[in-house]
């Protein structure tokens, strides 16, 4: 398998993991909103409301930074990095 094919395989699996995380934080958590609404946090707001207002946004930002950092490491591993000497 060539270097480009190995790079693409690793990039593709990284992208699939990232999309699964995105789907979990954008859809799966909210499917159970009714069940977790009885848990109250921060000023008496239900947990589902808090996850919608704050939790998912924080998760998306963390996913973006994690994705970029990990992709940069994959690129450097296979010689496609953009860092200059």
What is residue 22's predicted lDDT score, i.e. its pLDDT? 92
Q: What are the tokens at 26?
A: 């954008």
Which stretches does DSSP call E strand in the chain? Answer: 40-41, 45-46
In eight-state DSSP terms, residue 18 is: H
Output the pTM of the full model. Answer: 0.75
pLDDT tens digits, 22-50: 998 888 777 877 777 777 777 777 877 77
- What is the rounded CA–CA span in Å between residue 76 and residue 59? 26
What is residue 84's predicted lDDT score, i.e. its pLDDT? 63
What is residue 16's predicted lDDT score, i.e. its pLDDT? 97
pLDDT tens digits, 53-81: 777 888 999 999 999 999 999 999 888 87
Length of the chain: 85
Q: Which residue has the tokens 């996850």?
A: 51
Q: Is the pLDDT of residue 85 over 70?
A: no
């Amino acid at each position: 398998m060539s270097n480009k094919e190995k790079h693409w395989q690793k990039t593709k699996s990284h992208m699939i993991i990232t999309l699964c995380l995105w789907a979990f934080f954008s859809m799966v958590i909210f499917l159970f909103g009714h069940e977790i609404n009885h848990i109250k946090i921060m000023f008496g707001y239900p947990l589902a409301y808090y996850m919608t207002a704050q939790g998912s946004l924080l998760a998306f930002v963390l996913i973006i930074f994690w994705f970029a950092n990990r992709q940069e490491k994959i690129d450097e591993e296979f010689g496609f990095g953009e860092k200059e000497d």
